[in-house]
């Protein structure tokens, strides 16, 4: 998974997430973990779990175009080699269902706010400089979860080709084709670069 540390398989919580409020922070929620679902394992069907925003739901052994997510705007997903990974970018309940063969779900995930004090977040980058190249073409970068101590470095970009929304989540400086940003508060934000007419975006979940 781009930008995420490896993690052991997470055991589903037996608690029922269906009745938790939209932005719940129940005490038995997991942190921003990588939650693995094997589409070939029928035991994963109809599960309910609670994961902190920034975590990832990873569905393995499933073909392209067969996974539906509702509501889709609370996740950012990418597919490669029979694996779909979905970064949880907004709080609330999200339902994952796979059609075709094999079938998965529904898996109901309550996406909770990050806990205070924070729980382990193996799906998030920590204490590193993360670099992106604005000259790279292609679709939006895969969404990331980063901790406040991460520095974002955007290379090969002019002084007018960078935007951050909301702007108050980062403090950025520009010099000689490089933007360097330090995060100042937690939340979900989008970085957009414009280079030679190419517009590309990166969704970031920032956690403490």
Q: Which long-range contacts (CB under 8 A, 24 or more apart) does 24-29 make?
A: 24/50, 24/110, 24/112, 25/112, 25/113, 25/115, 26/50, 26/110, 26/112, 29/110, 29/112, 29/115, 29/119
Residue 41 has pLDDT above 90, yes or no: no
The predicted-structure confidence for 76-88, as pLDDT tens digits, reads as follows 999 999 999 999 9
Q: What is 1-123's CATH topology?
A: Immunoglobulin-like (2.60.40)
Q: Do domains 1-123 and 129-207 have the same CATH topology?
A: yes
Instruction: Please give the Cα distance from 178 to 154 (Å, whole number).
Output: 6
Look at residue 43 in the predicted model and tell me its pLDDT. 60
Look at residue 122 in the predicted model and tell me its pLDDT. 95
Structural domain boundaries in the chain: 1-123, 129-207
Specify the pTM: 0.84
Report the mean per-residue pLDDT for the chain.
84
Look at residue 117 in the predicted model and tell me its pLDDT. 79
- Read off the pLDDT of each residue in 102-116 and give the average, rounded to a whole number: 83
- Read off the pLDDT of each residue in 58-71 and give the average, rounded to a whole number: 90
The number of CA neighbours under 13 Å toward the Cβ of 72 is: 4
Provide the token pair at 77.
Answer: 């997903």
Lowest mean pLDDT segment, chosen from 4-18, 127-141, 186-200: 4-18
Residue 7 has pLDDT above 60, yes or no: no
More confident residue, 104 or 110: 110
Look at residue 46 in the predicted model and tell me its pLDDT. 61
Provide the token pair at 161.
Answer: 């080709």
Q: Does domain 129-207 have CATH number 3.40.50.300?
A: no
The number of CA neighbours under 13 Å toward the Cβ of 109 is: 37
């Amino acid at each position: 998974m781009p930008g995420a540390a490896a993690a052991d398989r997470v055991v589903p919580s037996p608690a029922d997430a269906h009745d938790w409020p939209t932005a719940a922070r129940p005490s038995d929620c997991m942190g921003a973990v990588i939650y693995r679902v094997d589409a070939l394992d029928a035991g994963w069907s109809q599960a309910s779990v609670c994961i902190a925003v920034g975590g990832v739901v990873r569905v393995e052994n499933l073909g392209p175009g067969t996974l539906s997510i509702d509501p889709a705007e609370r996740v950012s997903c990418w597919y490669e080699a029979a694996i779909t990974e979905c970064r949880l970018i907004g709080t609330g309940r999200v339902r994952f269902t796979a059609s075709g063969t094999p079938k998965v779900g529904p898996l109901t995930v309550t996406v909770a706010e990050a806990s205070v004090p924070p729980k382990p977040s193996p799906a998030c980058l920590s204490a590193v400089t993360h670099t992106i190249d604005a000259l790279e073409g292609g679709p939006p970068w895969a969404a990331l979860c980063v901790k406040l101590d991460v520095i974002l470095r955007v290379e090969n970009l002019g002084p007018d080709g960078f935007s951050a929304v909301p702007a108050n989540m980062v403090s950025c400086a520009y010099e000689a084709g490089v933007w360097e940003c330090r995060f100042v508060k937690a939340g979900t934000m989008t970085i957009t670069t414009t280079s030679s007419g190419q517009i590309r975006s990166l969704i970031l979940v920032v956690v403490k």
